[in-house]
Amino acid sequence: MARRNMVEALNLALRQEMERDPSVVVLGQDVGVNGGVFRVTDGLHARFGGDRVLDTPLVEAGILGSALGMAIGGLKPVAEIQFDGFTFNAMGQLEGNVSRYGSRSRGRWPASLVLRFPYGGGVRALEHHSEAREALYALPGVKVVIPSGPRNARSLLVAAIRDPDPVVFLEPKRSYRAFKEEVPDEEEVGVIGRAEVVREGTDVTVVSWGAMMRPVLEAAEGMSSEASVEVVDLLTLHPMDVCTVASSVRKTGRLVVVQEGYRAFGPASEVVAAVLDEVFWDLEAPVQRVTGYDVITPYFARENLYLPDAARVQEAVRRTLHP
């Protein structure tokens, strides 16, 4: 066992998968010699060479579109887009081709690739470098995976690389170096499509994912004398593990969903709607959403005022306890 931060854990996943499977290639801007602007691909270029660790020009659509071609041609591309805000230049390829290639080719070429990028705020970055728009990738045919810590980041990236379907893999950039966990050298393969109860409780269920897991767990610990909070880490946003969330809510009768991004048409709404289908008659209180606001992602000087934090999570939990 070794203690690793998320960047090191992701790097381990990439290195081991590239060793294991010679068809795995990494491409993106500055991923080669420079090792990626966050160093996730550090050392891969030296270890595997420029043919497999490919620095691209500044072409987001080109990165994703050519990655699809590479997958058709028998490679397993892991494409990096440098920041969340730049992924939208590649959305035409994601929606128009990647998401539907398995269907279009009737199963012959299921766009077996990973699109990974850092997402979310909290690192005092420039405009377009702090977006949390994860619902926009949740298309039919695409899997959306969002780890919350080093260990599940590593095991889920391995799973994403081995998955036959296209996986959009969002890395919470403010968790990249925020903390370390034990991440074993030995292989660990996560399960895409499965949520995890990471803290058991009996009074209220709080569901979240990615960078919001830290404030959620902090909130739960901080109010332990007041309420027994169960916490579910969604891990895969799409397709969603409704079953795990519903089981928890059936037990607690209360639900809070916490998402970093703006509220309207966000994943929290989908969690609530999907779970209500299953648990409506078990609910003890109205469901609460803690989200960003329906504004353009704020610039960094004031971003902390807008990002959901432990205090807002606790307020929402209290509202479900005392409706």
The distance of closest approach from Cβ of residue 64 to another protein in the complex, given in angstroms and rounded to an integer, is: 8
44 contacts another protein (rule: CB under 8 A): no
116 contacts another protein (rule: CB under 8 A): no
Region of 13-21, 136-144, 169-177, 247-255 interacting with another protein (CB under 8 A): 136-144
Two tokens at 316?
């929402």
238 annotated active-site: no
138 contacts another protein (rule: CB under 8 A): no
74 contacts another protein (rule: CB under 8 A): yes
Indicate the residue among 70 and 232 with the shorter CB distance to another protein: 70
34 contacts another protein (rule: CB under 8 A): no
Q: Helix, strand, coil proportions of the chain in percent (round to 5)?
A: 40, 20, 40
Q: Judge whether 177 and 6 are in contact, CB under 8 Å.
A: yes
In a 3-state reduction of DSSP, which class is residue 288?
A: strand
Where do the H-state alpha helices sit in the chain?
Answer: 6-20, 44-48, 60-72, 91-96, 101-104, 150-162, 213-222, 242-252, 267-279, 303-306, 310-321
69 contacts another protein (rule: CB under 8 A): yes
The distance of closest approach from Cβ of residue 139 to another protein in the complex, given in angstroms and rounded to an integer, is: 10
Among residues 43, 164, 286, 323, which is the contact residue for another protein, using CB under 8 A? 164
Catalytic residue among 45, 129, 238, 322: 129
273 contacts another protein (rule: CB under 8 A): no
Among residues 12, 18, 24, 71, which is the contact residue for another protein, using CB under 8 A? 71
61 contacts another protein (rule: CB under 8 A): yes
Among residues 32, 35, 77, 201, which is the contact residue for another protein, using CB under 8 A? 77
Residue of 225, 234, 231, 203 lying closest to 320 (CA atoms): 203
The total number of residues shown for the chain amounts to 323
CA–CA separation, 296 and 163 (whole Å): 34
Residues 200-219, interacting with another protein (CB under 8 A)? none
Taking the mean position of all CA atoms in its chain, how far away is CA 155?
13
Indicate the residue among 95 and 218 with the shorter CB distance to another protein: 95
102 contacts another protein (rule: CB under 8 A): yes
Region of 130-138, 178-186, 234-242, 312-320 interacting with another protein (CB under 8 A): 234-242
Among residues 13, 25, 40, 212, which is the contact residue for another protein, using CB under 8 A? 25
Q: For 121-139, b where at least 16 C-beta lie within 10 A, e where not — what string?
A: bbbebeeebbbbbbbbbbb
Residues 177-196, interacting with another protein (CB under 8 A)? 193
Distances (CA, A) of 119 to 29, 80, 134: 16, 12, 8
118 contacts another protein (rule: CB under 8 A): no
72 contacts another protein (rule: CB under 8 A): yes
66 contacts another protein (rule: CB under 8 A): yes
Helix/strand/coil (H/E/C) assignment for every residue in 101-154:
HHHHCCCCCCCCCEEEEEECCCCCCCCCCCCCCHHHHCCCCCEEECCCCHHHHH
Residue of 36, 52, 32, 40 lying closest to 12 (CA atoms): 40
Residue of 147, 165, 294, 158 lying closest to 212 (CA atoms): 147
Two tokens at 30?
């500055």
- The footprint of another protein (CB under 8 A) covers 25, 51-52, 56-57, 59, 61-62, 64-75, 77, 92-93, 96-97, 102-110, 140-141, 143, 163-165, 193, 239-240, 242-243, 274
The catalytic residues are 129
